[in-house]
Amino acid sequence: MQMEHWTGIGILVGMTLTSLLIDILMHYHPTTRRIMHRLVGKMLRPHEVTAEVFRLTGASWVLIAATLTFLLFPKVISTTAFTVLIVSDTAAALIGRRFGKRRFFDKTLVGTTFFVLTAIGVTAVYQTIFDAGQWFLVSGVVASLVCGVVEAASIRLKLDDNISIPCSFALTMLAMNWLGQHINMSSFLH
């Protein structure tokens, strides 16, 4: 069963607004902060639980990213870009923290390498699912490389990687689709 696009966007907007409200209440309402710390405190990062500075939690950033990605980009790109965020960012964090020694911008070289490889894998899976053609895969390899660098430099760029990853991937895919049309490749936006 497929969900109608605007119904999905409406659900994402509702979830995003709810998460933002919880973040605001956690910061400004001590009772909410105590309840949330008991419920999910172990999953929050130190900068997300501080009462001194208001910061959004990772959950809010992910929901903002999902809403923007699915609102602004075509389905084949938004689905791929958001999956790259979930799969590749997780792989990079797990592998980079465990095995990373050599730095690459703000992250580790091994983490970034795993990010790029899993992003290419995600692209290959969606190439098959969407029957998107070879140019989609070529574009996905380029987008994975660009996105890997953006993710590795996200701290110095002062960007939350939950936003920078899907946006950089999606924008690169759009640019590659445009380039492909100018060199007589079939568009993968269908």
pLDDT of residue 78: 97
pLDDT of residue 166: 97
Listed as ranges, residues in the chain with pLDDT below 50 are none
- Give dist(CA 152, CA 111) in Å, integer: 9
Q: Are 176 and 135 spatial neighbours (Cβ–Cβ below 8 Å)?
A: yes
Long-range contacts of 7-13 (CB under 8 A, 24+ apart): 8/70, 9/67, 9/70, 9/71, 12/63, 12/66, 12/67, 12/70, 12/71, 13/67
pLDDT of residue 16: 97
Domains of the chain by residue range: 1-71, 73-190
pLDDT of residue 120: 98
| pTM for this entry | 0.88
Q: How far is CA 58 from the centre of its chain?
A: 11
Q: Are 111 and 95 spatial neighbours (Cβ–Cβ below 8 Å)?
A: yes
